[in-house]
Amino acid sequence: MLNINLLLAWGATYKKVSAGETIFREGQFCNYYYQLVSGNVRWINIDSDGRECIHSIIEPGESFGEFPLFDDGPYAASAIADNDCMLIRLYKPTFLELLKENPDLLFGFTRLLTKRLRFKYSLIKSFASHCPETRIINLINHLKSENKNFCPECDQLKLTRQQIADMTGLRVETVIRTMRQMHEKGDLVISRGKVYCKDMIEVIMT
């Protein structure tokens, strides 16, 4: 999102995070702008039964946990390192001052947050169909459009079946069965347990 040299010039610091470590928890108040340098981070809510609802798998170069930077509320979700990660973080008041002096960056964040909200509305709409395939297609199309969680060289989806289930509210068994059916129809390719999808998939609401 933001140029690392620019962040460092404004006083940002690097922070190492170990696999499984919680970066911040839902309900905590925000002190920093976070951007991922290496590794992957799950941005999640956890219900009373311990089940995760994954909002996003953060990849290097992406920021996360931005809402409290702008509304002063607590974090709406938790961020947990999937593996050993390197973050860069900037103190919240300094980050806001940076945006004030660079309106183009503020506009960029407005677009980013709007795109994320638009995807959430689309996902909620797909829930109304009670069709597992629609939910999975909606997720895949969103990730393809954002060039996110896909290998750019081979079009491999870099999510596990469990992560797809946690992002769509489905059972992992349902995801496995539905994606096998999608493979048989030619919507995607499953080879040696890996999922490949080159193009966007047509959505048919039922």
Write down the pLDDT at residue 205: 53
Write down the pLDDT at residue 204: 62
- In contact, 57 and 39? CB cutoff 8 Å: no
Distance CA 91, CA 7 (A): 10
Q: What token pair was written down for 120?
A: 């959430």
Q: Using only C-alpha atoms, what is the Rg of the chain?
A: 18
Write down the pLDDT at residue 150: 93
**Low-confidence spans in the chain with pLDDT less than 50:** none
Asked whether the CA dihedral 156, 180, 205, 117 is positive or negative, the reply is negative
Set out the domains of the chain in order of their start, with CATH numbers: 4-101 (2.60.120.10), 120-196 (1.10.10.10)
Residue where the block lists tokens 């909620």: 124
The burial class, CB within 10 Å (0-12 / 13-18 / 19+), for 155 is middle
